[in-house]
Chains A and B, each alone.
Chain A
């Protein structure tokens, strides 16, 4: 073939491309994106029900590490990654999990918005094979919107244990789309799925499954279609969404059309005596049922060990003791193992590394600022390694195991009733539990909550929960140098304050809450690799952000101390630290560092006091008050930032002021109570 100028070649392929874009439901309002299509990488989105395995597939396809959990709605933001097919770049998007395209929560709204506004070349619909019928509901909705769907039938490995079997060829025929069996956690079928999506729709387009609605709906849809404006959206899908009362679609038509739609909807509702949305949902579910029944084979099934464990975990008689044992076991593990590791590291640095090293530096370098900086850097490193890593690491491993097993949603079931005491539902407990790890992802997880009121209350309560950094403080300092009862007292006080604050917020925050509707995932055996990966991702954040911050903070602190400037900072804080809380003056600067990161308060305490053995510089009561205040006062700067983003300035500031006041009142009271005792 003769080589033609590039513009001609482009022209030649243009109709095909336009077809591809049209079939893929190119939603771009302007057509400029189509012109750049030849050179622009293809865009593929991953969509699916919560916990169908999107995130696992995403990290397999792109190598971008995202946190994968056995908890519905783990991904709350649209993630973007790159992959390659035949030397071409492909952009892959991981969308938050949704049960349908009707947006209920904010993460679902994000998915819908993205699907409707981004021109995509293919949509990989991840269907959980173990929950086929329910997952097909979303598939049918995607087909109705004429999206370029390729189905990844995921978790096919679990079918066997559930005594189920799915005929993939039958499913392809029933749906009229390509179906590829996958095991995302093991990377099986990833390549095939991505290629099928990349080549879409080169495979011959089959007649896709269409939901046949009840007569009234069909008539109303037929009446709406001629009224619709010319858009890239398929008319039938558009009409159905309007009839369902989808606000997003309603905003795309004029007032007259909307009035007519409302009339038609009223007629349908009159005839059925129920919301048109319910009638439409029934139509889709009936079709999903039909498809699932045609392809699913069931064998006699005996509950597996995992299923029996799941049952065990939600039965109150066994579930509550299990929960108590797990939490107690976790704290004990952190305290003993973490404490042991911490001791080991402290001794290693304090006795083995520092004396000869510092001696060498001091004898070679004359400039006191440089020697101070060197000392500070290594003290900071030792503090980070000795105090934070052992405690935080163990906590994250524990959390990762509980997540992967699928235990946490069962806690939500067990404690839903108790959550009502603080004006929340069991669903809010999962973000709260995450709060024991780190407040930032915990606050992000509140996006999955259905109402704003719940989000606000849960977010503020999360800032009061002892995160792993604070756990390091409570267990590593209070328990070790003041005594275990003091540490337990801090936990108890925080729980009491959280309950009291929840009750208060319940009546202060306007709005309403929606009831608990939560999918319970299957119990899965935790796999080593994902747990290590997840723990590493979480630790990495600590190592990359906290450690440099700590080193810089430590150097600056050393210099302040050297020049005597530190007194300038300590003095104005003295009325609070010494006056109200009865602490030594040098804690003032530690509390300031604690705003950057909570565990820095303690690391700086070690640096400020010049020792890890805090009992030599503070009385047990002072250690207790200090740890209590650090636990409660003001969210750290990252948490504050995420609060501003997720709620707004007012709530973030309000939450910060609230916790500062609470910390000072409770701390001051504790100090005076201990003086009397």
Chain B
């Protein structure tokens, strides 16, 4: 399906770096950022950005930096998903330590096929986070990888992808309530042009419109009920290795 976009390993690494940046709070990556992140020279970055820009994967403005296009984000998300799922696999199944798993996943992520990855995800029980705790992006099902502002969402369940608020108080409060990337929340009430009420960890929390706008979410991939059912102990999917 997306084989037409199968890129070189280094191209994929670049897009992945963009994704990581974005996951923080920086949608724009400068040449310097990327050079540092990937450990290459500035000049190579500039060259690569031009190449990616020609393929329509990044929007590149010399001296300003670059952002991912929609197509670019799609691929970047996919690469990241491969990386993190593979880490999960290496740690949980192969018993490799977390640091080593990162290195190996970096190599494996460029060669594994989509089908193999989807099956692997299923085998692992569709884990939500990598061994490091970062969210594993969703698989491409009906192109649902798009993120949108939580404020624009109706009732339903969503996974938080990015926190983009610029207020330290808000970020800090969200963190202590657990509203961080990777968490699934349920929108239970929405007041037109006003706050929304979400439910998570058995708690209802009201978020002002501005706060909800700063949370980027994607629809949740599968209904995941936390907590163990009566009688049956459930092993949490993102348990850190024992």
Contact = CB atoms under 8 A, between A and B. Distances in A.
Interface string B175-197: 11110111100001101111101
B77 interface: no
A290 B239 contact: yes
Nearest to A293: B236
Interface in A379-427: 409, 412-414, 416-417, 425-426
A109 to B, nearest CB: 12
A450 B98 contact: no
A143 B204 CA distance: 26
Given A214-B132, A516-B211, A104 B173 contact: yes
B110 interface: no
Contacts of B238: 286, 289
A451 B98 CA distance: 40
Interface string B213-242: 010000000000111111001101011100
Secondary structure class of chain A's binding surface, majority of residues: helix
Interface stretch (A34-42, A130-138, A600-608, A631-639): A130-138
A293 B229 CA distance: 9
B218 to A, nearest CB: 17
Most B Cβ at <10 Å: residue of A274, A288, A311: A274
B169 interface: yes
A574 to B, nearest CB: 50
Contacts of A104: 169, 172-173, 176
A134 B199 CA distance: 12
A269 B24 contact: yes
A357 to B, nearest CB: 56
Interface in A268-313: 269-270, 272-275, 277-279, 281-283, 285-290, 292-294, 296-299, 310-311
A463 interface: no
A553 B230 CA distance: 68
A311 B225 CA distance: 21
B210 A515 contact: yes
A273 B23 contact: yes
Nearest to B33: A270
A316 B191 CA distance: 7
Contact of A416 (B132, B195, B230): B195
Interface residues of B, number: 67
B171 interface: yes
A451 B169 CA distance: 8
B176 A100 contact: yes
A289 B200 CA distance: 12
Contacts of B204: 310, 519-520
Interface string A517-529: 1111000000000
B227 A292 contact: yes
A515 B133 contact: no
B24 A274 contact: yes
Nearest to B225: A298
Given A131-B201, A282-B133, A294-B233, A515 B176 contact: no
Contacts of A512: 167
Contacts of B203: 131, 134, 519-520
A413 B24 contact: no
Contacts of B25: 274-275
B156 to A, nearest CB: 16
Contacts of B194: 413, 416-417
A519 B173 CA distance: 11
A520 B228 contact: no
Given A216-B132, A417-B194, A514 B178 contact: no
Contacts of B97: 215
Contacts of A279: 132-134
Given A212-B240, A450-B169, A278 B175 contact: yes
A133 B21 contact: no
Interface string A89-122: 0000000000110101100000000000000000
A260 interface: no
B86 to A, nearest CB: 15
Given A316-B191, A515-B167, A519-B203, A297 B230 contact: yes
A282 B209 CA distance: 24
A315 interface: yes
B112 to A, nearest CB: 22
A270 B21 CA distance: 8
Contact of A516 (B22, B37, B208): B208
A219 B102 CA distance: 14
B36 interface: yes
A630 B197 CA distance: 39
Contact of B99 (A100, A105, A215): A215
B228 A517 contact: no
21 contacts: A102-B175, A131-B201, A131-B203, A137-B178, A272-B132, A273-B19, A274-B24, A279-B132, A281-B176, A281-B178, A283-B133, A285-B178, A286-B129, A290-B236, A293-B236, A296-B227, A297-B227, A297-B230, A412-B206, A451-B169, A515-B207
Interface of A: 99-100, 102, 104-105, 130-134, 137, 162, 164, 212-216, 219, 269-270, 272-275, 277-279, 281-283, 285-290, 292-294, 296-299, 310-311, 314-316, 409, 412-414, 416-417, 425-426, 450-451, 512, 514-520
